[in-house]
Amino acid sequence: MDNLITIQRAQPAPPCTVVIFGASGDLAKRKLIPSLYNLVACGEGMMPAKSAVVGFARREMSIDEFRKSAHDWTVRFSRLKVDEACWAKFADSLDYLSGLDHPEGFVKLKAKLEAIEKARGIPPNRVYYLAIPPEAIGDSVKRLTEAGLIYKPDAPHFSRVVVEKPIGHDLPSALEVNRTLVKYLDESQIFRIDHYLGKETVQNLLVLRFSNNIFERLWGARNVDHVQITVAEAEGVGSRAMYYDHSGALRDMVQNHILQVLTMLTMEAPVSLDSAAIRDAKLNVLRTLRPITPADARTNTVRARYSAGVDEEGKPAPGYLDEQGIADNSRTETYVALKTYVDNWRWSGVPFFIRTGKRMKRRASSIYVQFKDVPQILFNRDSKIPANGLMIRIQPDEGFSFDVMTKRPGLDLVLSPVRMNLSYNTTFGSGASPEGYERLLLDVMDGDHTLFISAQFVEKSWEFVQGILDSWKDGARVPLVEYPAGGWGPKEADELIRLAGRVWHEP
| φ, ψ for residue 354, nearest 5 deg | -120, 135
390: nearest Cα among 399, 401, 379: 401
Q: Are 48 and 92 in contact (CB under 8 A)?
A: no
Half-sphere exposure of 281 (CA within 13 A, CB side): 20
Q: Report, as residue numbers or ranges, the catalytic residues.
A: 257
Q: What's the number of CA atoms in the CB half-sphere (13 Å) around residue 48?
A: 22
Reported as type and span, the H/E element at residue 176 is helix 171-184
Helices (H), 335-435: 424-428
Compute the distance between CA of residue 381 and CA of residue 404 in angstroms, rounded to an integer.
18
User: What is the maximum span of the chain, computed from C-alpha positions, in angstroms?
Assistant: 84
- 327 in the Ramachandran plot: left (φ > 0), alpha (ψ -120 to 50) or beta? beta
> Do residues 262 and 256 make contact, with C-beta atoms less than 8 angstroms apart?
no
Q: Which of 412, 459, 57 is nearest to 259 (CA)?
A: 459
Backbone angles phi, psi at 54, to 5 degrees: -120, 120
Q: What does the alpha-carbon distance between residue 258 and residue 337 come to, in Å, rounded to a whole number?
A: 12
C-alpha to C-alpha distance for 335 and 484, rounded to whole angstroms: 11
* Angstrom distances, CA of residue 438 to CA of 79, 199, 217: 11, 10, 33
Cα separations (Å) of 156 from 123, 189, 232, 444? 10, 13, 45, 17
